[in-house]
Chains A and B, each alone.
Chain A
Amino acid sequence: AQKITQTQPGMFVQEKEAVTLDCTYDTSDPSYGLFWYKQPSSGEMIFLIYQGSYDQQNATEGRYSLNFQKARKSANLVISASQLGDSAMYFCAMREVSGSARQLTFGSGTQLTVLP
């Protein structure tokens, strides 16, 4: 069974600094996708970034990058130059590709607070 672990319930970062949110996963499927979502206090889930298990390079999307270490089964989100608007809950999620299931399995989330 798939499992996603986010060990940091809460994180603080100073505005304009970089922050890394940890995510480890467990799967026996060789083919899978990893996602990060942001959930502001308003409640919506916003897709941030995707990493495929066979992707050769780490994914990047603007200020977001993914530090993907396949052997360690980790997919940490790096946010550079933090902004006050980055304060939110961040979820790591995984979907296995080779099976018929298409749903996401989510971690418990990390609450990020950006300090002015």
Chain B
Amino acid sequence: DSGVTQTPKHLITATGQRVTLRCSPRSGDLSVYWYQQSLDQGLQFLIHYYNGEERAKGNILERFSAQQFPDLHSELNLSSLELGDSALYFCASSPRGDTKETQYFGPGTRLLVL
């Protein structure tokens, strides 16, 4: 158990819908990263938040948005869903003060868009 929690574990929805994925980082970790894992794209970085502020954006679609709240949990919002958005979505957190900045991953949310 990495200490990072993600809900829900599984999500099945229809095209055009909107969903929210939730992540709670490990206690004390200020950084939250979101990644998408799909069969055709592999593991792709989406977005990074540090202590409530957006720090970096990767291959995140305009239909996707994220935020990190004062209690440090984060939410990833996916809207106007398409079949190709079906993937495993991970969040990860890294400890403050760790020179390695090792990222510890949550169990992931498996999204299926029908």
Residues on A lying within 8 angstroms of B by beta carbon are 33, 35, 37, 43-47, 50, 52, 91, 93, 95, 100-106, 108-109
Contact = CB atoms under 8 A, between A and B. Distances in A.
Interface string B75-114: 0000000000000101010100001111111111010000
Contact of B107 (A35, A43, A109): A43
B56 A43 contact: no
Contact of B45 (A50, A100, A104, A108): A104
Interface of B: 2, 31, 33, 35, 42-43, 45, 48, 55-56, 58, 88, 90, 92, 94, 99-108, 110
A45 B108 CA distance: 9
A41 B106 CA distance: 15
Contacts of B103: 35, 47, 104
A102 B105 contact: no
Given A105-B45, A106-B42, 11 more contacts: A35-B102, A43-B107, A43-B110, A44-B105, A45-B90, A100-B55, A102-B31, A103-B33, A103-B56, A103-B58, A104-B33
